[in-house]
Amino acid sequence: MPENSPPAAERKTSVARNPRATHDYHVLETWETGIVLTGTEVKSLRNGKASIKEAYARLRNGEVFLEGMNITPYEQGNRYNHDPVRTRKLLLHRKEIERMIGAVEQQGLTLVPLELYFRNGRAKVALALGRGKKQHDKREDLKRRVAEREAARAVAARRRG
């Protein structure tokens, strides 16, 4: 095992990512949240059967809920299976929720899930506070990424040559 890899207890296994989140939003702050799941949902997640592309978080009664996340029903789940797109509660500390409430209600920001993963055997969601990007912001980001990629290629070519 390489020396710089994290210990076994700290490894995380990614299940689903939301690449559109960083494309459509300026990410201002992120939190790692727990998520309330049923048994068949966890089994399905371990098989990698989830999508958070259309998911978003909503604040209701001082709690945070994840809506629009799709977890495919577990194949061996029979009648105990779950609803694939049900609303799921996210677990956060009270101060974190109060901070989110202030940002969402007063500043008009959005809560967007970035990634769904397992850490220490528990399902977690990386939740971000984001401000929607305008079309010109998206174009500028694309230009910047292309320029960085070309610069990295030029440096790599210079090292080889």
d(CA 62, CA 2): 44
Contact 28, 130 (CB under 8 A): yes
The residue-averaged pLDDT of 94-122 equals: 85
Which segment of 6-10, 32-36, 78-82, 98-102 scores lowest on mean pLDDT? 6-10
Tens of pLDDT along 1-52?
455 655 655 677 888 888 887 778 888 888 899 998 888 888 888 888 888 8
Beta bridge partners of 113: 127
Q: State pTM to two decimals.
A: 0.72
**C-alpha R_g of the chain:** 19
Question: What is the CATH code for 12-133?
Answer: 2.40.280.10
Q: Is the confidence at residue 92, as pLDDT, over 50? A: yes
Query: What are the sequence ranges of the domains in the chain?
Result: 12-133
